[in-house]
Chains A and B, each alone.
Chain A
Amino acid sequence: LSSQITPTMSAYLLRHISRNPRVLSRIPQRWSSSISQRPGSDRAIGADGEDTSSVRFPGAVNSKFTTDMAFINPSTTTNIPTYRVMDSDGVLLDKNRKPSGVSNEEILTWYKNMLTVSVMDVIMFEAQRQGRLSFYMVSAGEEGISVGSAAALTPDDVVFAQYRETGVFQQRGFTLKDFMSQLFANCHDNGRGRNMPVHYGSNYPRMHTISSPLATQIPQASGAAYALKLESLQNPDTPPRIVTCYFGEGAASEGDFHAGLNIAATRSCPVVFICRNNGYAISTPTLEQYRGDGIASRGIGYGIDTIRVDGNDIFAVYEAMREARRIALSDGGKPVLIEAMSYRVSHHSTSDDSFAYRARVEVEDWKRRDNPIIRLRKWLENEGLWDEDTERTTREQLRKEVLKEFGEAEREQKPPLREPLRACMRN
């Protein structure tokens, strides 16, 4: 029992799980408490006379002893860099490469999807102001994170979102009718009129219905990812799938963030956590949210592969996500953390006036200077794929489509009255 299990041996045995569940009983267990202290193991001196002895404490077996009492001070460590592919003028920083290995047509759909979300956001925000729907949340400034990351997923991948990921739904095939039916809680709403607006959900591609409690989706994503891993072990014919879990930097302060990342790491779950760090949780700036190096620095503490990306750079987001997906499926599954930096250009929601806690000029600066939509538009224009006229006609066309679905959804009947009681319990 004391012998250690090799990775290849483990993979071999696990492949046979569906054919012969009992085969696993032959896997020797790793008893972490059986790491024993060999005599003299704490007195090893290297060639240069340095103390190179390793501790044998089970809680940190790879640690070395030191006689230098030095506290690790986070302020003296280098902050995690932010990965980007193009600058704010839409110019690729490495001119020798094509972005992402993706076709121009596909990049144009990303742009249109970001534009669709943006056009819909303006109209629906106004509609809420007119009292025509009860609530709304825009994702202005963060369209690049959701569209870019969703573009790297397959339809079989599973998404758990927070609520500011409309672009994920748009990129994965949610139609304007689907959005409007949910927002107006009419008879075509997937949620049967039970949820507040923006709490979208879809069975396939699976995007779990959004729930308001923050961060609860994070350990759920780990559990779902573990289920996918188990399914592929039991049935090797299933396509490789991952779970993607979105949350804001504020939600990352919840206990469920800690629980979810830790359990994903210990159970080796194929899940990509994407934190949208947009600087604010309603009125709370990040300075009052945490004192470490953002959210990314925590991933390392959990033993999770981590990257920080420029969330306004859709190429950077896409490429990081594509690589994260590959990593998540490697070694039988492992979690990845992406911290995507952005700025919440909009109010938190229709129930919030953000100028009560931040300067209007700060917001205007971000809107003008750096924005995922404008950045990609500049790249498209540089490539000769887009121009002012196309921009105007596309925006006008999208506006018309949104208003058409808006009108139809608003006039549509509400769900039947049996809905409030139905399906709460299933016998």
Chain B
Amino acid sequence: MASLRLPRLIRPSGRRLYSAAASPSSRLNLPIDYKSTPLLHHTSSTISESLELPGSATSKSMNLYQAINSALRTALSKSEKVMLFGEDVAFGGVFRCSMDLQTEFGSERVFNTPLTEQGIVGFAIGAAAQGMKPVAEIQFADYVFPAFDQIVNEAAKFRYREGATGVHAGGMVVRMPCGAVGHGALYHSQSPEALFAHVPGVQVVVPRSPSQAKGLLLSSIFESNNPVIFMEPKCLYRAAVEHVPNEYYTIPLSKAEILKPGNDVTLISYGQPLYLCSAAIAAAEKALGVSVELIDLRTIYPWDRQTVLDSVKKTGRAIVVHESMINYGVGAEVAATIQDQAFLRLEAPVKRVAGWSTHTGLQYEKFILPDVARIYDAIKQSIEY
């Protein structure tokens, strides 16, 4: 029998099995501690200052879905033109973002639609063209593709083709949960922001925190005259908790935010990966003695080139981090712009840390998406170049 078993024993193993559990020796890829991250306002003391609100403003601690809910409630109260619809929004939404809103504002302004993404976005365009402010929900960003034609060929081009008639669909916002959650696999994990960023005529916004989400969503509804694609990182819906002002306030679109100043490397990201960046920066600054500047892009298109370029001209090094696929991703546009506009100041190639060029298979998510170790490593490589 030994002779029969022998081939198996000597067969070179092409497979390396792995355990899904975190390694006890892991130093960098620890779970993100949202309770202590410096990116969230854990007390009300810093909030009015950073959001440029009056000191008298009151706030309440809430998570991301509650902040979205608060923004939608504020918007529905502020204007009768605001309407909210999509699949399952009436009972509160599958992520609870529209909780109680139908009861408060009526089934004429907050309602379920049939299950049709192209219908939802087409319906929103028509309502916006008539002067309403429709906030349409696509249940997952993964399911926005049936509406791609309506967004790209219709919403984005509406004002341009209408020309002198002055009619446009700028009042509309399309909200969609995006990004990985750990077990979303192929169709509950995607971040298609780069696809929309290739379309002139729409604005693409990704918030990173509850207070930011409320301010950016209210800006998208009331201060943008363009159709806005508003992508909400769904893994933050319950995880990210911070103080959010109770009143109406906005955060400007197309304006990046410097989250942490630094002198040696510029890290550019948006949405959930900012928390990974923050953890990687803490480790790198401690271990490598470097000073890293962290920029939240906030609006993906049209994006704030000036803030990024000013930072890179100061630090000489840049790394772009995002979840979606590296090829043709947001990082490609940012890196090419830096290369073009800050070439003589660069001391290292611009690096991109992003999802690998594949699909998010259920069991492989953590190997495909950027993690703290990969960001840390990119900082190290950039510094040592």
A interface residues (Cβ-Cβ under 8 A, vs B): 14, 17-18, 21-25, 27, 29, 158, 160, 189-192, 194-195, 199, 201-203, 206, 208-209, 211, 213, 216, 218-228, 230-231, 233-234, 243, 255-256, 258-260, 262-263, 266-267, 423-427
Q: What are 9 residue pairs bridging A and B, where the CB atoms are less than 8 Å apart in the complex?
A: A208-B167, A211-B157, A216-B149, A219-B123, A222-B122, A223-B125, A255-B116, A262-B114, A423-B159
> Does chain A have a CB within 8 A of B103?
yes
Let me know if B150 and A191 touch, CB within 8 A.
no
Let me know if A426 and B165 touch, CB within 8 A.
no
- Residue among B146, B165, B203 making CB contact with A209, cutoff 8 Å: B165
- Residue among B126, B130, B166, B200 making CB contact with A203, cutoff 8 Å: B166
> Does chain A have a CB within 8 A of B80?
yes
Let me know if A227 and B125 touch, CB within 8 A.
no
Contacts of A233 in B (CB 8 A): 108
Let me know if B226 and A216 touch, CB within 8 A.
no
How many A-B residue contacts, CB cutoff 8 Å? 175
> Does chain A have a CB within 8 A of B369?
no
Let me know if B118 and A256 touch, CB within 8 A.
yes
The verdict on A208 contacting B163 (CB below 8 Å), with A25-B103, A426-B170 known, is no
Whole-angstrom distance from the CB of A203 to the nearest CB of chain B? 4
Let me know if B109 and A230 touch, CB within 8 A.
yes
Let me know if B164 and A220 touch, CB within 8 A.
no
Let me know if A213 and B153 touch, CB within 8 A.
yes
- Residue among B106, B108, B134 making CB contact with A223, cutoff 8 Å: B134
Whole-angstrom distance from the CB of A37 to the nearest CB of chain B? 22
Give Cα A305 to B111, complex, Å. Answer: 23
B129 nearest CB neighbor, chain A only: A224
Contacts of B128 in A (CB 8 A): 223
Let me know if B159 and A220 touch, CB within 8 A.
no
By the criterion of a CB under 8 Å from any partner CB, how many residues of chain B are at the interface? 55
Contacts of A221 in B (CB 8 A): 126
Contacts of A213 in B (CB 8 A): 149, 153-154
Question: Can you add 13 more A-B contacts, CB < 8 Å, to A27-B107, A256-B118?
Answer: A158-B130, A190-B163, A190-B164, A206-B167, A211-B153, A211-B161, A213-B154, A216-B150, A220-B129, A259-B116, A266-B113, A427-B225, A427-B254
Q: Would you list which residues of chain B between 92 and 107 have a CB under 8 Å from chain A?
A: 102-107
Give Cα A203 to B168, complex, Å. Answer: 11
B109 nearest CB neighbor, chain A only: A230
Let me know if A203 and B167 touch, CB within 8 A.
yes
> Does chain A have a CB within 8 A of B119?
yes
Give Cα A224 to B106, complex, Å. Answer: 19
Contacts of B349 in A (CB 8 A): none
Whole-angstrom distance from the CB of A418 to the nearest CB of chain B? 13
Contacts of B109 in A (CB 8 A): 230
Contacts of B126 in A (CB 8 A): 160, 219-227, 243
The verdict on A24 contacting B162 (CB below 8 Å), with A259-B119, A260-B119, A262-B114 known, is no
> Does chain A have a CB within 8 A of B335?
no
> Does chain A have a CB within 8 A of B127?
yes
B113 nearest CB neighbor, chain A only: A263
Let me know if A230 and B123 touch, CB within 8 A.
no
Q: Which 8 A-B pairs have the closest CB atoms?
A: A24-B106, A223-B126, A219-B122, A259-B119, A220-B126, A192-B163, A223-B123, A227-B130
> Does chain A have a CB within 8 A of B265?
no
